[in-house]
Structure 1
Amino acid sequence: MTLTFNRENYANLLVEVLPQPIETEAEYQRVLAIIELLMNKESSGLEENRLLDLFVILVEKFELEHYPSQNLSTPHSRLLHLMEANNLQPADLIGVFGSQDLVVEVMDGRRSIDKTHAEKLSDRFNLPSSLFVV
């Protein structure tokens, strides 16, 4: 069974949560609560996963601007987060990296994500490739 992205469902989710740049601590806490709900949902559709990705980007931007010394987000940690959020196993990324060994090396932090793999991750998660490179 192939899942398809439903634009109407996604639009309804957007209307429900009204994503926007985070400017206050209260907005930041609201978005973190939404992320937690989305991550703890037993069965997420493509639309909810895309919304989760959007909120993660908004949180990272806010944290970079407001908590620069505490920002520990790296391409590696972003990949691990996206894998967890999308219930992916290392084998699910063989198509991106080309081999199980390379996937394991990247996940273990022994190898950096290069530009080619960042582009493939960008396509896989529908996110900017810049999130996956230093």
Structure 2
Amino acid sequence: MSVLVKKAAEHWEYVAPLLRKPKNEEDYDLLVLALDELLEMTKLDESHPLMSLVDIIGDWIAEWDHQHHPMREASGAEVLGYMMREHGLTRSDLPGVRPQSVVSEILSGRRQLNLRQIRWLAEHFKVPVDVFI
């Protein structure tokens, strides 16, 4: 038996919970807590020896989230509202979507963004067009 395998076997009972994909929410929660601790320890230093463990656990958490906690797609109006809040904009700050009443109708869901508005918003916020579709 190699020294590496022997050392791993000696410590397996302590590290095993961190080195298996989650099979239920309890496993998932354990990995999320472990990842938080690891991120605090590594300070996101890519050269830290524990970053490979961060990558593994992060991938398993992302896979679990994708399968068990899928995110709903945001509508163009929801994205617009979010972008406005993030940039501290008002309805009058969007000349490419004017007048203000049109922006209000879009944000309330009574009107859809049109292609011209989507192109302008994508250019204005420097994001891909499909963000607003």
Structure 2-normalised TM-score? 0.48
Give the number of the structure with larger relative contact order, counting CA–CA contacts within 8 Å between residues 6 or more apart. 1
Rg larger in structure = 2
